[in-house]
Chains A and B, each alone.
Chain A
């Protein structure tokens, strides 16, 4: 009798701890069963087991080559868009003229399908990394501009009045007040951007590349190796997920105060 309550509690705890993992494993098993017992052919929906086999059949070093190619472009594009977006937002926040001139231009750029301008980029910058980095950057920088600008504009007006009442130089208003206040917004932008960066790199590889996970998937499809394409796809999503998490870790590590308060 005495034992029951803690035991129940322990069980509940364990269920909470392992439920997400068990759910995932269950899902994969269900998928496997549907494929095996339903006799679904590989070219329609490959079974998890054949995806794993396909994954192992590709040499590890090849995976690393493709991973590095995609990651390199995605990260360079991501950092380039940070370098462009943040100063741009500061400029637009500080100058009404710049805001009015640039904002429509940014929206036009954002709503242009990158695939449509990609051939032009390739002609201008060649078929190497620079083109792919630019394509990635074009896809990633808009959410960053929007989130940074929003964040800086949402600074409490009292803080701005405090800065004015001190007659502090404007750059300090930007650096010591507006930017830190924008940090939570900037990080939501970064989380969106990092996943877009992977998509951007893959889109760029669809246009021109000799390696990379996007190229690998396209290539596998061209040989109708669907399980191999799925393996590439799943690998890609895991990388996206890890990058997304990394952005959260960086925020937790550098700006713990900017995280939403836990209840």
Chain B
């Protein structure tokens, strides 16, 4: 592939959702969980999803991941309909979900061990590189419960990067962390993203986090979750703590807040 500039390439659609809707209960009268979602995510784009609790954000993510087949519409990745999980899609969950009986390094290598039953020394070298990049090298041989919550979450991200996925799906990865750690790890994620450009679908409850990190924000309505708006975040990159103080940042967060707290405002 060669080195790629970390810039959204609008000509290449990596993830495409067309008229996607879903209900868990197949009964004809049962309510939809999400409805009429149309979204294209382009190469190396960072898209955040915000919306009230229970509006179907996780449901959306699981459909992109191939863990759930949508009952309506179609999801495709690289122009192919998604029928099962793909190797080029990595997932980071809300809780780090490290395996408590494995060291940090072995947790990072777990996807290989789990998928193929083994890993090579080259894989270990790669795991070390990723840990080094995330500043976790000195904890490589520690057990997960010896790490702070923020460090555990970084291990979770490193683990998702091990298989070098093109697309990274993150479901409220930082929600279990305190505010300070959360902001810091957001910047860390941006650093990692710059070094390893990925197409990212990022679900969050935090409006400022969405604005700080993403290129576009999908705002969802209450259940059944529909698209209320798709907001272009025109803040310059690289983003730093200064970005937060810029007037445009406040403007954008206000717009989104408006959607969440006054859902009757017409789009």
Contact = CB atoms under 8 A, between A and B. Distances in A.
Interface of A: 156, 158-159, 161-168, 172-173, 176-177, 180, 183, 255, 257-258, 261
Contact of B111 (A166, A258, A261): A166
Given A156-B95, A161-B62, A168-B114, A180 B85 contact: no
30 contacts: A156-B97, A158-B93, A159-B97, A161-B67, A161-B91, A161-B93, A162-B93, A162-B114, A164-B67, A164-B85, A165-B66, A165-B85, A165-B91, A166-B111, A166-B115, A167-B84, A167-B115, A168-B114, A172-B114, A172-B117, A173-B114, A176-B113, A176-B114, A177-B99, A180-B99, A257-B100, A257-B101, A258-B100, A258-B101, A261-B145
Given A161-B65, A164-B67, A167-B84, 16 more contacts: A158-B94, A161-B62, A162-B93, A162-B97, A165-B66, A165-B89, A168-B114, A168-B115, A173-B114, A176-B110, A176-B114, A177-B99, A180-B101, A257-B143, A257-B145, A258-B101
Given A165-B66, A166-B85, A158 B95 contact: yes
Contact of A167 (B85, B94, B97, B145): B85
A262 B68 CA distance: 39
Contacts of B145: 257, 261
Interface string B86-125: 0101010111010111000000001101110100000000
A184 to B, nearest CB: 10
A180 B107 CA distance: 14
Nearest to A183: B101
Contacts of B100: 257-258
Contacts of B87: 167
Contacts of A164: 67, 85
Contacts of B115: 166-168
Contacts of B101: 180, 183, 255, 257-258
Nearest to B89: A165
Contacts of A165: 65-67, 85, 89, 91
A166 B89 CA distance: 9
A167 B89 CA distance: 12
B106 to A, nearest CB: 11
The SS class assigned to the A binding surface is helix
Contacts of B84: 167
Interface string B34-64: 0000000000000000000000000000100
Q: In which size bucket is the chain B interface? A: 20 to 34
Nearest to B144: A257
Interface in B236-258: none
Contacts of B117: 172
Contacts of A168: 114-115
Interface of B: 62, 65-67, 84-85, 87, 89, 91, 93-95, 97, 99-101, 110-111, 113-115, 117, 143, 145
Contacts of A163: 114
Contacts of A161: 62, 65, 67, 91, 93
A183 B99 CA distance: 12
Contacts of A158: 93-95, 97
Nearest to A180: B101
A24 B87 CA distance: 62
A156 B145 CA distance: 16
A185 to B, nearest CB: 14
B118 to A, nearest CB: 11
Nearest to B100: A257
Q: Sorted from nearest, which 9 A-B pairs have the closest CB atoms? A: A165-B85, A158-B93, A166-B115, A168-B114, A158-B97, A257-B101, A257-B100, A168-B115, A165-B91
B67 A166 contact: no
B114 A166 contact: yes
B98 to A, nearest CB: 10
Nearest to B113: A176
A258 B101 CA distance: 8
A63 B87 CA distance: 63
B198 to A, nearest CB: 16
Nearest to B169: A165
Contacts of B65: 161, 165
A162 B143 contact: no
A162 to B, nearest CB: 7
Contacts of B114: 162-163, 166, 168, 172-173, 176-177
A158 B176 CA distance: 15
B24 to A, nearest CB: 14
A167 B85 CA distance: 7
B247 to A, nearest CB: 39
Contacts of A176: 110, 113-114
Nearest to B95: A158
A14 B117 CA distance: 52
A255 B100 CA distance: 10
